[in-house]
C-alpha cells in the first residue's frame, strides 16, 4: 500500500505518512549547502512512499523532509530553529501531524544541515519540551564540523546559484554562512566547545550520534570529527553528494541512507 505524500514547495517541506495507522516515530531529514528538501536525497521520498510499508523497520516510521533557502541562513542556529519548530508541531499534533502522537524522533542530516543538528543538540533552551527524551538517533552525513577548505578558497561559490536576480554569494545570509564554514572560524570553534560542554555537563540525554564519512569526500575532507562519547563512525566509498542520493530501482533499492533507516530502533 502506497503511503500518503504531501509536498509543500513554497514552505520547503514534504511529508510521507502511513495511510492505515498512526505511527509513533518520525524521521526528519535536513539538507546541506544549496541543497533542497527533496532533491538532496535523490529518490528517497518516492521510495519510502511506495515501499516503506513492505519493510518491517521502515514501516514503523513516518518521514519529514525539511528545507531552507541557503542565502537566507546566516548561522547554524537558524537551521536548528527550523528543526526544533517542526518537531514541536509534530509532538503537539499541529497540522499536518494531527493524526499522529509522535513519541520517537530520529534526525538525518547532510553537510551544512549536520551543523544545525549539532547546534540544536547543544542549545537546550531551544529544544521543545521532551525532545531530548524522544530523540533516538542522529545520523550525520558528510559533517563539516572542522569546516571546508572550499569555503575558505571560495570553491563553494561554484555551487551558489542566482537567486531573486542577484548572486546568492552577494546576499548577507549566504555570505555569513560561507564564513561560518571556513576552517577555524569562530562559530565552528564555539560549536566544538558547546558540543564538549553538553556531553560533559549538560542536562538531558540524547540517542547515539552516528557519523557517515565519505572516503572520496573532497568538500569536507577526512579531518577528525569532534569526540562525542557516544558517537560511532563508518566510512562509505562515495563522495560528498552521492552518499545521500538514493536511486529508486524498486523494492530492493539499497543505499547508505536506507541502510541507516533500517538500523533505527
pLDDT of 16 over the 90 cut: yes
Model pLDDT for residues 135-159, shown as the tens digit of each residue: 999 999 998 888 888 876 554 544 4
pLDDT of 166 over the 90 cut: no
pLDDT of 160 over the 60 cut: no
pLDDT of 218 over the 90 cut: no
Q: In the structure, what pLDDT confidence band is assigned to residue 80 with cuts at 50, 70 and 90? A: very high
Domains belonging to the chain, first-starting first, are 4-262 (3.40.50.1820)
Residue 251 grid coordinates = 523494492
Q: Where is pLDDT greater, at 131 or 173?
A: 131
Task: Give the pLDDT of residue 156.
Answer: 53
Model pLDDT for residues 225-246, shown as the tens digit of each residue: 445 455 667 777 788 989 999 9
Amino acid at each position: 500500500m502506497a503511503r500518503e505524500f504531501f509536498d509543500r514547495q513554497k514552505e520547503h517541506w514534504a511529508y510521507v505518512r502511513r495511510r492505515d495507522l498512526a505511527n509513533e516515530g518520525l524521521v526528519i531529514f535536513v539538507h546541506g549547502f544549496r541543497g533542497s528538501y527533496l532533491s538532496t536525497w535523490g529518490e528517497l521520498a518516492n521510495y519510502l512512499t511506495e515501499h516503506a510499508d513492505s519493510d518491517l523497520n521502515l514501516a514503523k516510521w513516518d518521514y519529514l523532509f525539511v528545507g531552507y533557502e541557503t542565502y537566507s541562513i546566516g548561522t547554524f542556529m537558524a537551521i536548528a530553529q527550523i528543526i526544533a519548530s517542526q518537531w514541536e508541531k509534530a509532538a503537539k499534533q499541529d497540522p499536518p501531524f494531527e493524526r499522529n502522537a509522535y513519541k520517537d524522533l530520529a534526525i538525518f542530516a547532510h553537510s551544512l544541515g549536520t551543523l544545525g543538528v549539532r547546534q540544536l543538540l547543544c542549545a537546550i533552551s531551544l529544544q521543545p519540551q521532551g525532545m531530548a527524551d524522544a530523540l533516538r538517533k542522529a545520523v550525520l552525513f558528510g559533517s563539516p564540523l572542522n569546516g571546508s577548505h572550499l569555503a575558505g578558497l571560495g570553491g563553494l561559490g561554484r555551487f551558489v546559484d542566482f537567486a531573486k536576480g542577484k548572486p546568492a554569494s552577494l546576499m548577507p545570509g549566504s555570505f555569513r554562512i560561507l564564513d561560518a564554514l571556513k576552517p577555524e572560524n569562530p562559530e565552528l570553534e564555539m560549536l566544538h566547545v558547546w558540543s564538549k560542554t553538553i556531553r560533559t555537563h549538560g542536562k538531558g540525554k540524547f540517542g547515539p550520534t552516528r557519523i557517515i564519512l565519505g572516503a572520496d569526500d573532497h568538500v569536507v575532507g577526512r579531518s577528525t570529527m569532534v569526540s562525542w562519547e557516544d558517537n560511532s563512525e563508518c566510512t562509505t566509498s562515495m563522495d560528498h553528494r552521492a552518499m545521500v542520493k538514493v536511486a529508486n530501482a524498486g523494492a530492493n533499492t539499497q543505499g547508505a541512507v536506507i541502510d541507516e533507516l533500517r538500523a533505527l530502533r
